[in-house]
Amino acid sequence: MADSPVPLLRAHSRHAPWNSRGLAAHATALVDAAGMRPTNGAARAEPSARAVRFYVSTGLLDHPDGTGTAATYGYRHLLQLLFIKIRQREGLTLEKIKVEVTGLTGDALERRVASSLAPALGARADGVVADNGAHDGVWHRVQVADGIELHVRDDSPASSEEAVMAMREAVRAALGRADIR
């Protein structure tokens, strides 16, 4: 396993950019893998697309590139969203989290998130290192529309049913055609 979990976390940047659903689904996969649960009963463990938009409107997340359904979120947004969930798990309120996340540089934010998610990132990294690129996972075909399908390996962090549905809907939205829904 690598000395630092940062490169393992950084590997998730290759999945960017996301729409709000895709960002929420990717963060949910990492939150689930880490077994994170907030101590605040009012906070949900898994972020949703609605939560992403709420966090943007309240200044907890940076504004995305673009607006409306064309808004896209990058790696820094993923770090910010994971930081919010980590700090909620530790009992902080959104107001206190906002003060903290606003003052963090990208490197500090990345190190903090990576260290909190290290066990989940390490477990995934061990599998990647052990197979040396030979993936034994089972691939699933998900039809998006006539002639368009997604292929998702079952050992991917984005293989949860919610993540796959979000990806399918994101592709459909990108196509912008109501007749394929």
**Residue 57 banded pLDDT, cuts 50, 70, 90:** very high
**Residue 11 banded pLDDT, cuts 50, 70, 90:** confident
Please state the rounded mean pLDDT for residues 43-51.
80
| CATH T-level topology, domain 6-135 | Multidrug-efflux Transporter Regulator; Chain: A; Domain 2 (1.10.1660)
Q: pTM higher than 0.85 for the full model?
A: no
Q: What is the H or E stretch that residue 149 is in? A: strand 148-153
- C-alpha span between 84 and 107 (Å, rounded): 16
pLDDT at 64 over 80: yes
- Per residue in 78-91, pLDDT tens? 999 999 988 888 88
Total Cβ atoms within 10 A of residue 5 = 22
Handedness of CA 104, 106, 109, 111 (dihedral sign): negative
Domain positions in the chain: 6-135
